[in-house]
C-alpha cells in the first residue's frame, strides 16, 4: 500500500506513486525532514500524555462505566421498556389522527368523484341526449356522441358508468333496428342508403350493412316485378275478359318498366360502390 498509516505500507510503491519525478537530492532532503519530524513527534506525544494524564485516566474510567452499564442493561432487558414506550406513542398517535385521516380519505373520495363527474358530465346526460336527438332525427350527432362515449367507457371503470353503459347499449340496439328498417325501405334513394349504411357501420364495424341492403333491395325489386305478372288462369276467360286482361297486362308491364327504370339504377350503382369498397371508411376496409 502507498498509505503510510496502513500496516502493509510499502516505501517502494510510495516513491513510485508520489516521487517518481524527484531527483536524488530532493529525496535525501525529504528523508532528513522526515527523520526530524519523527523525532519531534516523539517528544510531542510524550509531552501531550504527561500534560493530560488526568484527562486520559478520566476517559478510561468513563469507558469502563459505559461498558458496565451496558452489560447491566442487557441483563435487565433494556429494550422492553423502549418497545412499550414506542407502542404507547403509536397508540396515542392513532387515537389523535385516525379520525382526521379517515375524514381526509373520505374527502379525497368525494373530490375524485366530483372531478370524474365534471370531466365526464356529458355521459350522465347521454341517454337523454340520444333520445332527444333521435326524435329530431339528428343521427349524425347521435353517432358522434356514441363514439365519444365509447372512448370514455374504456378509460373509466365505475359502477355508475356501467349502469349508464347498459342503458346506452340498449339505445344502440334500438338505433340499429331503426337504421335497418330505414335501409330496407323500397324504394329509397341511394343517398339515404349510403347514409344509413355508414351509420350502421359506425355502430358495429364488424357488420356488413351494405351487403344486407343490396340483398333486401334485390328481393324487394323481384317481389314488385312478380306482382306485375298476369295470372295464367285469367288467360282462359272469354274474349271480352281477355281484352280487359290484355289492357291490364299492358299496364302491369308499364309499371314493371317504371320500377326498373327508377329502382334498378340505384341498386346497380350501390353494387358498384360495394365492389369498389367505397361505402366504408378506407382505414377500416384495408
- 179-204 pLDDT tens trace: 899 888 887 888 888 988 988 988 88
pTM of the model: 0.51
Give which of 178, 207, 211, 183 is closest to 195, Cα–Cα. 183
Residues 115 and 139 occupy one common structural domain: no
Range of the domain at 46: 11-75
Q: What is the mean pLDDT of the chain?
A: 78
Q: Is 130 exposed, middle or buried (0-12, 13-18, 19+ CB in 10 A)?
A: buried
The mean per-residue pLDDT over the stretch 237-265 comes to: 65
Residues 24 and 90 occupy one common structural domain: no
Residues 169 and 200 occupy one common structural domain: no
Instruction: Tell me how far apart the alpha carbons of residues 137 and 175 are, in angstroms, rounded to a whole number.
Output: 11
How many other C-beta atoms are found inside a 10 Å radius of the C-beta of residue 131?
Answer: 12
Instruction: Tell me how far apart the alpha carbons of residues 48 and 53 are, in angstroms, rounded to a whole number.
Output: 8
Task: Confirm whether 41 is domain-assigned.
Answer: yes
Q: Final residue of a domain: which of 85, 101, 119?
A: 119
Q: Final residue of a domain: which of 46, 75, 104?
A: 75
Give which of 157, 161, 218, 212 is closest to 186, Cα–Cα. 218
Task: Confirm whether 113 is domain-assigned.
Answer: yes
The mean per-residue pLDDT over the stretch 87-114 comes to: 84
Residues 196 and 268 occupy one common structural domain: yes
Q: According to the model, what pLDDT value does residue 186 have?
A: 82
Instruction: Tell me how far apart the alpha carbons of residues 183 and 207 are, in angstroms, rounded to a whole number.
Output: 14
Q: According to the model, what pLDDT value does residue 1 have?
A: 66
Task: Confirm whether 140 is domain-assigned.
Answer: yes
Residues 166 and 234 occupy one common structural domain: no
Q: Could you give the number of structural domains in the chain?
A: 4
Task: Confirm whether 6 is domain-assigned.
Answer: no
Residues 130 and 97 occupy one common structural domain: no
Residues 208 and 286 occupy one common structural domain: yes
List helix spans (H) across the chain: 11-18, 24-51, 53-75, 79-119, 121-124, 126-135, 139-155, 159-183, 190-203, 209-227, 239-275, 282-285
Between 271 and 12, residue with greater pLDDT: 271
- Provide the angle, in degrees to the nearest 10, between the axes of the packed helices 159-183 and 209-227: 30
Instruction: Tell me how far apart the alpha carbons of residues 51 and 40 are, in angstroms, rounded to a whole number.
Output: 16
Cis omega before residue 187 (within 30°)?
yes
Task: Confirm whether 126 is domain-assigned.
Answer: yes
Residues 232 and 167 occupy one common structural domain: no
Amino acid at each position: 500500500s502507498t498509505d503510510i498509516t496502513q500496516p502493509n505500507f510499502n516505501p517502494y510503491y510510495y516513491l513510485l506513486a508520489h516521487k517518481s519525478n524527484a531527483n536524488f537530492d530532493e529525496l535525501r532532503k525529504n528523508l532528513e525532514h522526515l527523520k526530524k519530524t519523527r523525532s519531534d513527534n516523539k517528544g510531542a506525544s510524550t509531552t501531550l500524555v504527561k500534560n493530560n494524564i488526568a484527562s486520559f485516566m478520566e476517559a478510561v474510567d468513563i469507558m469502563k462505566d459505559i461498558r458496565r452499564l451496558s452489560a447491566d442493561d442487557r441483563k435487565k432487558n433494556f429494550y422492553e421498556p423502549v418497545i412499550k414506550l414506542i407502542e404507547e406513542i403509536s397508540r396515542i398517535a392513532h387515537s389523535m389522527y385516525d379520525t382526521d385521516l379517515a375524514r381526509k380519505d373520505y374527502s379525497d373520495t368525494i373530490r375524485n368523484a366530483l372531478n370524474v363527474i365534471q370531466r365526464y358530465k356529458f355521459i350522465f346526460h347521454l341517454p337523454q341526449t340520444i333520445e332527444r336527438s333521435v326524435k329530431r332525427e339528428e343521427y349524425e350527432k347521435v353517432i358522434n356522441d356514441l363514439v365519444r362515449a365509447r372512448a370514455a367507457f374504456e378509460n373509466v371503470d365505475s359502477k355508475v358508468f356501467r349502469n349508464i353503459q347498459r342503458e346506452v347499449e340498449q339505445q344502440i340496439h334500438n338505433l340499429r333496428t331503426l337504421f335497418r328498417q330505414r335501409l330496407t325501405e323500397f324504394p329509397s334513394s341511394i343517398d339515404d342508403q349510403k347514409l344509413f349504411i355508414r351509420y350502421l357501420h359506425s355502430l358495429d364495424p364488424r357488420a356488413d350493412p351494405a351487403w344486407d341492403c343490396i340483398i333486401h333491395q334485390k328481393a324487394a325489386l323481384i317481389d314488385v316485378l312478380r306482382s306485375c305478372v298476369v295470372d295464367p288462369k285469367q288467360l282462359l276467360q272469354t274474349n271480352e275478359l281477355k281484352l280487359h286482361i290484355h289492357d291490364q297486362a299492358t299496364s302491369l308491364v308499364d309499371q314493371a318498366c317504371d320500377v326498373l327504370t327508377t329502382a334498378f339504377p340505384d341498386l346497380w350503382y350501390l353494387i358498384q360502390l360495394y365492389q369498389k369498397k367505397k361505402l366504408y371508411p378506407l382505414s377500416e376496409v384495408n
